[in-house]
Amino acid sequence: MYLKDHFLIGGKHSVPNGNEVSGVICPSTEETIGTVPTATSADIDQAVDAARRAFDEGPWPRMSLADRVEILMSAYRILQPSIDEISRLTTAEMGVPITVATNGYTPRALALIPSLTKLVDQIVFEEERLGASSPALIWREPIGVAAAIAPWNGPFMNAIGKLTPALLMGCTVVYKPAPETPLDAYYFVDALYEAGIPSGAVNLVPGGREVGEHLVRHKGVDKVSFTGSTVAGRRVGAICGEQFKRVTLELGGKSAAIVLEDADLEVTGKALAMAAFGNSGQVCASFSRVLAPRALYDDVVELLADRASQQLVGDPFDPKTTMGPLVAERQRDRVEGFIASGLREDARLVTGGGRPVGLDKGWFVEPTVFADVTTDMTIGREEIFGPVVGVIPYDSVDEAISIANQSEYGLHGGVFSSDVEQATAVARRIRTGTVSVNGYLVNFDAPFGGVKCSGIGREFSVEGLLSFSEQKTVNYPLGLPDRSGAV
């Protein structure tokens, strides 16, 4: 049992203002594995006040970049021996298979820290510009207090991916993890304070949707970084728009993978299986629409069905398991509702569609493949967030691109072809923030984010770091000051 009775506010274990406690449920056993206090508006106020004081008066924004980097890297070193422990917790919280968590998910999340600390060296924090009228200095400064709100489908990755860039740039942060997966963040925030981060620079307050909105609306917050559904993102964006508050929104997706006629089906099958069934399909960037040419259509459908049948669905703590449960009963109900709509709207169920035999406990759904899907079907339009993929036929590359672009989403996409130049040309025409060619990859060394209803702004890489900064221009009509002694 992971029992937490406190928040982390102002560098201290903070006693909650309310009495409500949230249970953390293991999705494979339906048993409670831990508890955390549920934040109230008063707790959010305390956290924002602590972050505000730390930004306005404290040392963190005024430290040298090298000192901030050293504290982040010290936290990284503190966390390294806990990789297996954090992996087990992630598996218990959300059901990702332990082999995936231990060999990929947790170490990759942790590797974001040294990756981002190296990338920050590419940022120019002060620049001289000699204009036609007068010279100027351009400063890049931390944006202020950042509110970071994360979803449940990658808890440790989200904690590191949101907190690290904000902190490196000199912001102070209030972090609200999802109620379903709040425990991983305690590891990172505890490590930051053990590493010597100043009081109030980072604050951790688990809570639900209501306090999340209070945090977004809080006048003490300068920037919101939100990852979640498009429905919730619209609400967050509207509030930030009212206040002209800076915002990054990483939202939903209905990403299309276009299989061209010369695609290597072995390479394609491996990537499509990972993209459709990895993390039980609970990935915003998953390929839930596969567009196949009629000449290869049956082959692609058969390929996906075969890959689905190879998934070992079961106990996520079993090293042999490749696909675990969905995160919650409501999520399984949602996915089963989409499967029912596919049957109702005459999509052809090729494989899956039910609950795995013998798994009476846990929120499991079979990996599911639909054929003969059209763009007007619910499963062809809406984000499912489960292990369900629909195969859509096309007659020409132009038609495939048109189908891909019909979606209101634009987060990710894929193109599969033996001709990389041709694939690149197709990728250029897809309206989406990211495209993977002959694979499935979210590249943390490159900017990640969406267009249309998939969000605003970019995360990771240099662009993600820059999103936590503002530019200030200082004009010098009589000439620049002597900066020979500047550090």
Helical ranges in 225-286 per DSSP H = 230-243, 265-277
Q: Is 448 helix (H, G, I), strand (E, B) or coil?
A: strand
| Rounded Cα–Cα distance for residues 141 and 468 (Å) | 9
Q: Which of 26, 171, 240, 284 is catalytic?
A: 284
Q: Tell me, what amino acid is at 26? A: C
The token pair at 173 is 């942060």
DSSP 313-374: BS-TTSTT-SB---SSHHHHHHHHHHHHHHHHTT-EEEE--SPPTT--SS-----EEEES--
Tell me whether residue 345 is one of the annotated catalytic residues.
Answer: no
Residue 448 pairs in a beta bridge with 459
Tell me whether residue 250 is one of the annotated catalytic residues.
Answer: yes
| Rounded Cα–Cα distance for residues 176 and 467 (Å) | 19
DSSP 32-65: EEEEEEPP-HHHHHHHHHHHHHHHHTSSGGGS-H
Q: Is 300 helix (H, G, I), strand (E, B) or coil?
A: helix
Q: Are 54 and 201 a contacting pair, CB within 8 Å?
A: yes
Residues contacting residue 217 through CB under 8 Å, at least 6 positions apart? 239, 243
Q: Which of 26, 180, 240, 250 is catalytic?
A: 250
Q: Tell me, what amino acid is at 175? A: Y
Q: Both ends of the chain: CA-CA distance in Å?
A: 50
| Rounded Cα–Cα distance for residues 103 and 83 (Å) | 10
Residue 224 pairs in a beta bridge with 147, 247
| Rounded Cα–Cα distance for residues 355 and 378 (Å) | 21
| Rounded Cα–Cα distance for residues 246 and 230 (Å) | 18
Which residues does the annotation mark as catalytic?
250, 284
